[in-house]
Amino acid sequence: MKRKSGKTSDQVKAFEEALSRQPDAARYVLSLFVTGSTPKSIRAIQNIRALCEERLHGRYELKVIDIYQHPEQVKPEQIVVTPTLIKKLPLPLRKLIGDLSDKDRLLLGLDIVPKNA
């Protein structure tokens, strides 16, 4: 069978380019569990929102869950301490605890490659 090289070659090239961009284009699904509007909770919300806007602009979904308002979500997610950030996607699932102020630790925990790397 004879191949049409022009169109097929362009399609293969486009597909390979899409594959090479895939890690950068990954959509992040995050849940941040907090306890009310304590200083630590507010700091965690500000820190994760700032990082998401800086590094994941348009490629993330962030849910902030106040365990006082939604205690039913604590047990299924196995939340022991707050603030806790859960990265559901992309896999692997990760849990980060604290106010998320250590940016390097946060980038590493979320598997986000630093811009200068």
CATH number of the domain enclosing 63:
3.40.30.10
41 SS3 class: helix
**Residue 92 falls inside a structural domain:** yes
How does DSSP classify residue 112?
P
- 0.85 exceeded by the pTM? no
Distance CA 20, CA 40 (A): 38
**Residue 9 falls inside a structural domain:** no
Q: What is the pLDDT of residues 24-59, one digit of tens each?
A: 568 999 999 999 999 999 999 999 999 999 999 999
**Residue 117 falls inside a structural domain:** no
**Residue 17 falls inside a structural domain:** no
Q: What is the pLDDT of residues 59-98, one digit of tens each?
A: 999 999 999 999 999 999 999 999 999 999 999 999 999 9
Distance CA 57, CA 3 (A): 41
Count how many domains the chain has. Answer: 1
84 SS3 class: strand
Contact 87, 109 (CB under 8 A): yes
**Residue 13 falls inside a structural domain:** no
